[in-house]
Every structure is written in C-alpha cells, then in structure tokens.
C-alpha cells in the first residue's frame, strides 16, 4: 500500500506528457491522499464495530479496484478518480495492520512488531520511485498500478484463512447494522469529509483554473470553514462517540504526535515528487535514471528506519529521535532549494542523505508514542486520527506545492526567457517542453524550471521545521516502563 503512495512520483512526467496535463500533477498524489483523508476518521469506528479480518479485506478490495482504474486510465480525470478510490481503500490498511498486530500481543511486545511493520512500510515508500521509474522507462507507467494485483493475491488469500483475534468485545453485525448511523457517526463523517474536499478544491483551483479572489475559490473556502465549524459542534455533542473524540485528541502526546507525523509526511511527499521532476525536467534524465538518482534517499531512510526501530526500545524515550529528525529534515530539504541546472552530483546526493537519515529516524516515532499513550478501546480511534493527520497534511501541502510551482513557472518564464510562451511550457509537461523551446532559449527555461522547484522546497523545509517543534510534545516518559499489559485491558477475542 505504501509503495502506491509514491510509486507514481517518477512516472508523473510521463503521465503529464501522455495526457497533456501538467496542471494536474499535484492531483495525482493529492487525490490518493484525499480519498484516504476523507475516509480515515471513519476507519477507527469500522474497526471498533466490525471484525478485523473482514474489515481489512474490504478495504483491500477497494484499494485493488482503484489500482485497476488507475492502470486502465484513458484520461487525466479518470486517473485522478482511480487514485481517489485507491486512497479510500488504503485508508484502512496501515491502521488495520497495526490494530491487528496490537490485538495479537500484549503491549510490552508491540514495539518491535510495530517497528517491523513500519520498516517494511517505509521500505515501500522509499523504493517506490525507483520501481515506478523502472516501469515507466522499461514497460509503461500503467504497471506502477497493475503491480498491486499480484501483490493483492499474495496477501489477501492467506488472510482469508487466518484466525485473527479481536482487540475488544464486539456486538453481532446484525445489531450494529440496524443502528449503523449511531455506531459509525455517519452524520459526523458527512460533515467532515465535505469540509476537507472543499478546502482541497479551493487550494487546487486557486491561481490555476480560477483567480484566488474569484467567487468559486472564495466560495469553497467559506464552505469548507462553515462545514468544519458545524462538524466541531456536532463532534462535541457526540462526545466520546464522535468521529474523532475531542477528549482523546486534546491529549498533548496524541495531537503533538499527529502534527509531527503530518509534517514529516509533507516533507516525504515534497521530496519524492519534486526531486524526480527536477532530475527529469532540469537534468534531462530518463524516468528510471531519476529513480536511481533517488537511491541516497532510499538507502538513508531505510537504514535509519531500521536503526531507530532497534534503538528506541533501549533508549526508552521517543522525543530524542523525533527532535533529531526535526533538525536534519529542514537542513536537507532547505538545501534542495539551492538546486540549479549545474548543481553537482555530490551536492544533491549529500542533500538527500541529510534529509533521508533524519526522516528515517523519525517517521515511526509518532506511532510508537501513541501506542504507549492509549488503551485497547481507544487504539482504533487513536490510530485513525494519527493516520488521518498523516494524509490530510500532505494532501493540503501537495496542492500548495503544485500551486507554488505552477504560479512560479508562469511568472519566471516571461522574466528569464521572454521569447518563450509560458503557457505552452506549462501545458507541454515536465519533459516535452524541451521540444517546444529553441536551443537558444532552453538554458533560460531550465533556470526558470529549477527556480520554480526551489520555491517548492522552501515550503518543504518549513514543514520540516514544524515537525521539529511538534517533536517536543510527544511524551517525555520512559516507554520501557509502559510496555506491559494495560490495567483493565480486555482479553483478545478470537474472530
């Protein structure tokens, strides 16, 4: 599933060329995260009410359907819809895997197992650009999505025959279905999801399809704010039965961990999407070679993810790892903002290593912190909130990244290359613009492209700084003392 979050990154230039839709680049990732962010709060309720196995497999099926639609896409809008459906399915997969493992073992045995999940998951995230580049250059970008089908068979068929314990006692499905709207807080979901969608549409349309001061953009912002305010009152009224209970979210460990996770994922997506565009558009390399150029990110993040997973149970404290990440990530991503057409290999390799080592050390820490701050009955909802923050932040920031890039490119091309049509460069795609520009104007256009990407990395670095500040609130307690069976924790129930 996490392979799918960024596998499209190195394929984006080829996709934008085929569909002639450079303006949709941000949506290829944002739509996936939008589907996940809209449905994520509901997944906690679903896993609390229904059997873990069948809930997990249902999310898996939705994910696979979305993957098929993406692979078969005949237009940019069709691809975006497929990404949204795949994201909706993905919303319950990572949280479901963590809840399932947590229901199988006592608290003291969870950290290494959760670390294993995170290590495998983050390996998927960091190798995805390389895999996507290989498919794009060697076969077709469509296999970046079709690859999920054989993986799906390998995973889902054995799960059907497994006995998976339940994390809490659950009522029969017939009883839950008769009062589904109350158990799942469907009213809260019907308020929160549209608020998120309206906000993201406003950010995507502003400065692209419509001016920022247009009635369409302003209306979407107002609608998002109004709907969100109504949801806040409803959620407060529902109390602990609400979609995201305020009594849980207001705990410092939980909201600080959610913020930290969100900021780190914003830097991950910013790096994994815009570095390949820099390599392919500015450096002029192929999709597969741009994936190879990301190896420093892959190796640094993988190494430090494993290292941090081994060390945190021995050190006992989560914040030092997150603070370490919060120092390195802004430095590395800030250095990305200096990239130019003539930047040497040593520099962009070094910049990647700085950022990826920090991110590898910090990405799994929010989950470790939250796991040790809640009991079994709160686990599903807490994980849903944490992963919702993981999705909603990058979804918003990806639209901002795309807006910054498009606006900058439209502004800088006329300044640096006055003989070139900026609109034609934007419409051509991240690699095809070279066919439209004369050899005399190409160096100036490449400078405009690199400067526009640099502007994106200013915001990526700012997100890294946000993660640094959030890290200080992630619970200064010794998790070695917490890693025991929680008092009053209900026994696991076979299902």
* Domain count across the chain: 1
d(CA 2, CA 235): 30
Answer yes or no: is 91 within a domain: yes
How many other C-beta atoms lie within 10 A of the C-beta of residue 205? 18
Quote the longest CA-to-CA distance of the chain. 74
pLDDT tens, 286-322?
Answer: 777 887 888 898 888 878 887 887 888 888 899 999 9
For residue 300, being part of any structural domain is answered with yes
| Confidence check: pLDDT of 487 > 70 | no
Classify residue 257: in a domain, yes or no: yes
214 assigned to some structural domain: no
Q: Average pLDDT, stretch 196-223?
A: 84
**Residue 333: pLDDT over 80:** yes
Residue with tokens 């890294």: 464
In whole angstroms, give the CA distance from residue 15 to residue 22: 9
Confidence of residue 180 (pLDDT cuts 50, 70, 90): low
Where residue 183 falls among pLDDT bands split at 50, 70, 90? low
Within a domain: 227: no
- Name the more confident of 67 and 484: 67
Residues 391-450 pLDDT 10s: 788 878 887 888 888 889 889 989 998 888 888 887 777 777 888 888 888 889 899 999
- Local structure of 485: helix, strand or coil: coil
> pLDDT tier at 177 (50, 70, 90 boundaries)?
low
306 falls within a domain: yes
Confidence at residue 336, expressed as pLDDT on a 0 to 100 scale: 96
CA separation for the pair 39, 16 (Å, rounded): 27
CATH number for the domain spanning 379: value is 1.20.1250.20
Residue % of the chain over a pLDDT of 90? 28
What average pLDDT does range 178-201 have in this prediction?
A: 79
Separation between Cα atoms, residue 123 and residue 294, nearest integer Å: 13
Residue 445 lies in a domain: yes
* Domain boundaries, position 18: 2-185+243-478
Do the domain assignments include residue 204? no
Q: What is the pLDDT of residue 495?
A: 39
Residue by residue, DSSP assigns 119-188 as HHHHHHHHHHHHHHHHHHHHS-TTHHHHTHHHHHHHHHHHHHT---EESS----HHHHHHTHHHHTTHHH
Write out pLDDT tens, residues 343-395.
999 999 999 999 999 998 998 899 888 888 887 778 778 888 888 888 788 87
Q: Please report the pLDDT score of residue 493 as a whole number.
A: 39
Q: What is the DSSP string of 422-476?
A: HHHHHHH-TTTHHHHS-TTTHHHHHHHHHHHHHHHHHHHHHHHHHHHHHHTTS--
> Rounded mean pLDDT of the chain?
84
d(C-alpha 267, C-alpha 329), whole Å: 8
The DSSP element (H or E) to which 78 belongs, if any, is helix 76-90
Residue 489 has pLDDT above 50, yes or no: no
The answer to whether residues 80 and 24 touch, using CB atoms and an 8 Å cutoff, is yes
pLDDT value for 19: 84
Q: What is the pLDDT of residues 41-84, one digit of tens each?
A: 888 888 888 888 989 999 999 999 999 999 998 888 899 999 99
pLDDT-derived band at 494, boundaries 50, 70, 90: very low
């Amino acid at each position: 599933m996490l392979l799918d979050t960024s596998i499209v990154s190195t394929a984006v230039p080829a996709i934008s060329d085929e569909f002639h839709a450079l303006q949709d680049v941000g949506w290829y990732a944002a739509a996936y995260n939008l589907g996940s962010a809209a449905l994520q709060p509901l997944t906690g309720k679903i896993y609390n009410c229904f059997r873990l196995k069948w809930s997990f497999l249902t999310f898996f099926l939705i994910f696979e359907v979305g993957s098929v639609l993406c692979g078969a896409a005949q237009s940019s809008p069709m691809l975006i819809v497929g990404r949204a459906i795949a994201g909706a399915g993905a919303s319950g997969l990572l949280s479901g895997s963590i809840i399932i493992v947590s229901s199988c073992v006592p608290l003291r045995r969870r950290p290494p197992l959760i670390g294993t999940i995170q290590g495998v998951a983050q390996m998927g995230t960091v190798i995805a650009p390389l895999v996507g580049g290989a498919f794009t250059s060697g076969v077709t970008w469509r296999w970046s999505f079709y690859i999920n089908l054989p993986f799906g068979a390998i995973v889902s068929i054995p799960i059907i025959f497994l006995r998976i314990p339940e994390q809490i006692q659950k009522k029969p499905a017939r009883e839950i279905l008769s009062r589904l709207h109350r158990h799942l807080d469907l009213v809260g979901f019907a308020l929160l999801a549209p608020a998120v969608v309206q906000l993201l549409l406003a950010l995507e349309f502003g400065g692209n399809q419509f001016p920022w001061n247009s009635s369409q953009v302003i209306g979407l912002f107002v609608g998002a704010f109004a709907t969100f305010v109504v949801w806040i009152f409803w959620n407060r009224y529902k109390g602990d039965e609400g979609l995201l209970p305020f009594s849980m979210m207001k705990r410092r460990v939980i909201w600080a961990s959610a913020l930290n996770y969100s900021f780190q994922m914003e830097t991950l997506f910013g790096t994994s999407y815009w570095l390949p565009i820099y390599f392919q558009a500015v450096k002029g390399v192929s999709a597969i070679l741009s994936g190879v150029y990301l190896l420093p990110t892959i190796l640094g993040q993988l190494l430090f993810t494993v290292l941090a997973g081994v060390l945190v149970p021995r050190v006992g404290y989560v914040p030092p790892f997150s603070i370490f990440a919060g120092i390195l990530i802004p430095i590395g991503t800030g250095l990305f903002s200096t990239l130019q057409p003539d930047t040497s290999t040593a520099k962009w390799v070094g910049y990647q290593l700085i950022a990826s080592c920090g991110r590898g050390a910090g990405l799994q820490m929010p989950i470790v912190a939250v796991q040790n701050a809640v009991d079994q009955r709160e686990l599903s909802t807490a994980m849903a909130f944490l992963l919702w923050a993981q999705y909603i932040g990058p979804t918003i920031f990806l639209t901002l990244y795309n807006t910054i890039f498009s606006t900058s490119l439209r502004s800088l091309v006329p300044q640096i290359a006055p003989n070139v049509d900026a609109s034609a460069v934007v419409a051509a795609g991240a690699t095809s613009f070279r066919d439209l520009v004369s050899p005399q104007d190409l160096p100036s256009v490449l400078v405009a492209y690199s400067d526009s990407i640099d502007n994106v990395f200013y915001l990526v670095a700012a997100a890294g700084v946000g993660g640094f500040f959030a890290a200080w609130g992630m619970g200064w307690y010794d998790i070695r003392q917490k890693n025991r069976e929680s008092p009053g924790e209900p026994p696991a129930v076979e299902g």
